[in-house]
Structure 1
Amino acid sequence: MDRTKYEYIGNLSQLFHVENYRMEGGKKDGVRVTNVQNETGLNFTVAADRCMDITHLSFKGVNISYINPSGIVAPEYYDRTGLNWLKSFTAGFVTTCGLDNVGNPCEDGEELGLHGRIGNTPADEYNVSIIREEEDNKVEITGIMGESFIFGAKLRLKRKITSFQEKNRLILEDEIVNEGFTEQEYMQLYHCNIGYPFLSPDCEIIIPSDEVKGANPYSQENIEKWNMVEEPSHVGEMCFLHQLRKSGDECRVGMFNNKEKIGFTLSFDGKELERFLQWRYLNKGEYVVGLEPATNYAGGKKNERETDRILKLNPGETKHHRLQFDFYDSREAFDEAMKAFGCL
């Protein structure tokens, strides 16, 4: 790190701004959030009261995240029945789905709503720390979300989000622990939602896949559209299932906007997150593409158990998930990052 720049500033926040606050007004009232802005153009918000998910994110002044019409909604408005999860679905750059269900609502010994409860769970032991290091200062945001109740699951999700002062990198790390004394099923999906102005017809979707298929008949009929980004219309919702190419155990996908000249890659462990879904909904006023690493496809717990599989945690067992987002302001740097996966 070049320390001569510190001769020009009075406070580190001029270069690396980290702020905690509570939101006011409407259904977002009282939600705890942390905003981080680094010195090279990465700006994002973590919602402590919504599973520490990442809501707004921009790079070089260009918004990348998609925000649902409902905006940020406090967890007390969550309704777990049926499809009512959508009424408090912020979307944002990352929404966590699980741990009791991923995908369709279903009856499985209990009523399980769309995409589970965890995304509407506030963080306990929430902490934000700036760590000063010789190479690059960083911020670490940590917290714990519980999904435990008597006669039921005893699951804990411990999350750490790391970002840097100079490096345009964002790391999300999860530990999922079975704190109970019986074997426990769990499901998890990371709903990464990309929106305008980054998402536009100038944007390329690059997903190195060995196989792509539609998640339903309508998506299969439109399989040729999986990597197209068109103008807003009324073509409807599509979902594609990818068999991703790997480098070792690592998977990587990316998007680049040739007009804005910025892009990002998402890298994750394809051994732990073996399923990958791509959501496409390019309708007027609801213009979004989702990139979704997951433990399961999104048919709902009962369907996935019958048609695919459900992961299980032994008593005391821990699973680790890691997502890394890197942001680029040149096509050359982006292409170099993607070459290892045989897609360029």
Structure 2
Amino acid sequence: MNKFLAASVSPALYATKANARIFTLSSTEHNIEVGNWKIDSTQLGIIDSFFSIEQKILHGGKQEGSKIIILTSPNGLTITLSPTRGMSIMNVTGQDIRFGWDSPVKEVVNPTFINLESRNGAGWLEGFNEMMVRCGFEWAGHPGIENGEMRTLHGKAGNTPASKVEIEISEIAPYEIKIRGLIKESTFKKADLQTVAEICYIPDTYSFTIHDRLTNHSDYPRDYQIMYHSNFSKPLLEKDAQFVAPIKEISPFNDYAHKGLQDWATYLEPTKDFDEMVFNIVPFAKNDGSTLAALHNKDGSKGVTIEFNIQELPYLTLWKNTDTEKQGYVTGIEPGTNYAYATSIEREQGRIRQIESEQTVHFKIKYSALMNKEAVDKAKKAVADIQGAQKTTFVHTPIAKE
């Protein structure tokens, strides 16, 4: 039996497997909802490392009923995610570093209060404030009409509450923690895509990994798309901060982005009336398909790397939104199966994949905080080693027009 689906229904709401405990926080199948909940390493008998995991039910305004899970490692990272919002990562903090941004949307908005079809299909923006949100899986990208149906901005996964949430904690050093949720995109006569969305973290470290497993439970092949919309602001984003990646080809998303192609790798300070600039990137990779992208601050003293595999996620989108801080000063680094154009364009240009009946596809992304100049320089060298003597092709004309 699938271990994820084998829920514990005991009063303690936990099960055991070899060298690990599994705590079920919610399950629609077994009508489980533990509500507010907390555990720490001392309660598990772990004395050589300290960490805690807490689930909170939020109240008031548009976040009424939303849930967050906070994984705290005082000597490493504190990671906050929301099972209500498709297992999105809300923010990540550590000593003198933060992954995330300050959106005008301040609440963890319950999807009940969002109409994805409002604003001509851009209602998704009314809840957008995550450090990492999954754009997909049935579709992704900009809103548009295809076959008479509205494809809303960035799909539905980020506004789909998890149908099951469980936490697995290893009882053997280094005590790896896995938090996973089941995201269902199931519609009569349409898709039945189900994703086990998992984050893996080892306490006292400065890296974590996303491992998603997407399965098609229908009897027919289905389309799928995914973009891991990963967002960063201060202290990493500032004037003259730099984006680095081994790039085979880069093109502007539209005519406005074409104006910024010359300075695509560096950033402005918060700038009023700056519209968003988006760039389409085809990355170079090692022979096994692995590659990375990085962002670091002006003096190269701190940064972030995102490692992924182009066999799973062949494209990379760079989103630069250096507007005012109140409006949302942020940049997005987005590995994906596609670019952010509407589904009809992605289909026409051959970037939509299909998943067979009962097939499962995997996606893995590793995020690492670069805590000093030595770590930043190491990441830049890794990028340079992949790039080697290979040239970057600059395509000056947008590859599509919406």
TM-score if structure 2 supplies the norm length?
0.79
Match of 2:178, SS state, is strand
1:139 CA drift (Å): 1.4
1:279 CA drift (Å): 0.2
Contact 2:84 2:162 in 1 (8 A): yes
CA distance in 1, matches of 2:351, 2:76: 41
Contact 1:138 1:165 in 2 (8 A): yes
Flag the 1:67–1:177 CA change in 2: closer, same or farther, 3 A.
farther
User: Deviations for 1:235-287, whole angstroms, at most 9, x for unmatched residues?
Assistant: 21100011212122011011222568322210011111011100001011221
1:13 CA drift (Å): 11
Q: How does 1:154-193 map to 2 (within 5 A)?
A: 154-193=192-231
1:75 aligns to 2:111 (yes or no): yes
1:36 aligns to 2:71 (yes or no): yes
1:12 CA drift (Å): 5.8
Q: How does 1:40-51 map to 2 (within 5 A)?
A: 40-51=75-86
1:199 partner amino acid: L
CA distance in 1, matches of 2:196, 2:373: 35
CA distance in 2, matches of 1:54, 1:107: 29
1:282 to 322, 329, 332: 322
Q: Which residue of 1 aligns with 2:60?
A: 25
User: Deviations for 1:41-96, whole angstroms, at most 9, x for unmatched residues?
Assistant: 31120101111110011221433301421132111112121111111222x21011
Q: Which residue of 1 aligns with 2:125?
A: 86
1:36 partner amino acid: L
Contact 1:245 1:341 in 2 (8 A): no
| Higher CA-based Rg | 2
1:298 aligns to 2:340 (yes or no): yes
Match of 2:375, SS state, is helix
Corresponding pairs, count: 335
> Which range is displaced more, 329-338 or 248-257?
329-338
Q: How does 1:45-124 map to 2 (within 5 A)?
A: 45-71=80-106, 72-81=108-117, 82-90=121-129, 92-109=130-147, 110-124=149-163
Contact 1:252 1:338 in 2 (8 A): no
Contact 1:143 1:160 in 2 (8 A): yes
TM-score if structure 1 supplies the norm length?
0.91
Q: Which residue of 2 aligns with 1:267?
A: 307
CA distance in 2, matches of 1:80, 1:32: 20
Match of 1:342, SS state, is helix
Match of 1:336, SS state, is helix
CA RMSD in angstroms comes to 2.2
1:83 partner amino acid: A
Match of 1:322, SS state, is strand
Match of 1:57, SS state, is strand
Q: Which residue of 1 aligns with 2:10?
A: none
Match of 2:384, SS state, is coil
Match of 1:49, SS state, is helix
List 4+ stretches of structure 1 deviating above 4 A.
10-14
> Which range is displaced more, 76-85 or 331-340?
331-340
Q: Percent identity?
A: 27
> Which range is displaced more, 252-261 or 221-230?
252-261
1:192 partner amino acid: S
Contact 2:245 2:283 in 1 (8 A): yes
Contact 2:194 2:215 in 1 (8 A): yes
1:38 CA drift (Å): 1.5
1:332 CA drift (Å): 1.3
Q: Which residue of 2 aligns with 1:236?
A: 275
2:161 partner amino acid: P
1:131 partner amino acid: S
